[in-house]
Amino acid sequence: MADKHKVGIAVTSVLLGGTVVIGSLVGQDTNANSLQPKAAAALQSAGITNVNVSFKGREAYLSGVSATQDQLNQAKVIVQGIYGVRWATTSGGVTPTSPGTTAPSDTSTVTATPTPTATAPATPTPTPTPTPSETPTPTPSETPSPSVPALTDDQKAQVDAAVISFDNGSYSLNAASKKSLDAVIPLLASSSNNITIDGYVSLPHPAGYEVQDSTRRAQSVADYLIANGVDASRITVVGDGSSNPVASNDTAAGQAANRRATLTVS
């Protein structure tokens, strides 16, 4: 009788295990079916029509044979900003290349050897009267470009004080964050200083994704600065995870304060 009970428990466990697996697959399809049209609509709204997006669960895959790498990167930022998307990857893309040069063909020309002919004695050529050499007219030198100034201490403090916050579960800039950046972009675009962007997440946060998601927030700030005239070569993006909190994560207000990105000029 005890053996029959063991068999019944084993069968039940197998059935339950199968139900869990099937439920997991259905959940992935549901995520893909709900996120794909949102991502496609967001790309269409941004005018990006040559990038395809597909989903496996909450992970987005972007590709486009005729899309440039910049378009793929822009599409990646847009799709990652959709609520519910875990991460996005890109593949394909057209990288502009410098036009090649065609080497001249190596053709040999056969030159016939001239037959010597009798020549009359050369008539002496009168020596020309030397003329004064002309003094070359100096060309005006190019006006050097003015050097790009660095920020003053007061301007650095203004940039460092910019508040760049993020909504819960979001990795794209909200209206308030864009307004804060718009106030300092003229300073950053017209100076020679380097800029470090640090991104942060609040706790609790999905384990193993703290650095990745904080980097996404810092990158969204970098993309906005570059799109508004700041030289990309002067920008460094850092994902700091949940480190350096500015408030306690035990309250909703504290979590909101910790979901942020900061600017530091040097």
Region 214-235: mean pLDDT is: 96
217 contacts 174 by C-beta, under 8 angstroms: no
Domain residue extents for the chain: 10-94, 153-265
CATH number assigned to the domain covering 153-265: 3.30.1330.60
Residue 94 has a pLDDT of 58
Residue 103 or 142, more confident? 142
Cis, bond preceding 206 (omega within 30 deg of 0) = no
**Residue 163 reports pLDDT greater than 60:** yes
* Bridge partners of residue 91, in order along the sequence: 63
Residue 8 has a pLDDT of 41
Residue 70 has a pLDDT of 87
Question: Which amino acid is present at 210?
Answer: E
Of these ranges, 20-29, 39-48, 119-128, the one predicted with the greatest mean pLDDT is: 39-48
* Whole-angstrom distance, CA of residue 263 vs CA of residue 199: 9
* Whole-angstrom distance, CA of residue 23 vs CA of residue 100: 55
Residues 6 or more apart in contact with residue 245 via CB below 8 angstroms: 200, 202, 203, 254, 257, 258
Residue 16 has a pLDDT of 36
Kindly report the pTM of this predicted structure.
0.47
Residue 24 or 122, more confident? 122
Region 38-56: mean pLDDT is: 88
Residue 254 has a pLDDT of 96
Residue 104 has a pLDDT of 39
Q: Which regions of 210-249 does DSSP assign to beta strands (E)?
A: 235-239
Question: Phi, psi at residue 179, to the nearest 5°?
Answer: -65, -40
CA 61, 65, 66, 71 torsion-angle sign: positive
Residue 121 or 222, more confident? 222
* Best CA proximity match to 151, nearest among 36, 234, 258: 234
Q: How far is CA 204 from CA 199, 209, 259, 261, in A?
A: 16, 11, 11, 18
Region 182-210: mean pLDDT is: 95
**Percentage of the residues of the chain whose pLDDT score is greater than 90:** 45
Q: Can you say how many angstroms the Cα of residue 152 is from the centroid of all Cα atoms in its chain?
A: 29
Residue 204 has a pLDDT of 95
Region 162-190: mean pLDDT is: 95
Region 53-76: mean pLDDT is: 86
CATH number assigned to the domain covering 10-94: 3.30.1340.30
**Percentage of the residues of the chain whose pLDDT score is greater than 70:** 68
DSSP secondary structure of 46-85: TT--S-EEEEETTEEEEEEEEEEHHHHHHHHHHHHTSTT-
Q: Which two tokens stand for residue 54?
A: 């597909």
**Average pLDDT, whole number, for the chain?**
78
CA angle, residues 198, 201, 202, in degrees to nearest 5: 140
Of these ranges, 78-82, 138-142, 166-170, the one predicted with the greatest mean pLDDT is: 166-170
DSSP 232: G
Region 72-83: mean pLDDT is: 88
Q: Which helix (H) or strand (E) holds 149?
A: none
Region 245-261: mean pLDDT is: 96
CA angle, residues 156, 179, 247, in degrees to nearest 5: 70
**Residue 121 reports pLDDT greater than 50:** yes
3-state helix, strand, coil in the chain (%, to 5): 40, 15, 45
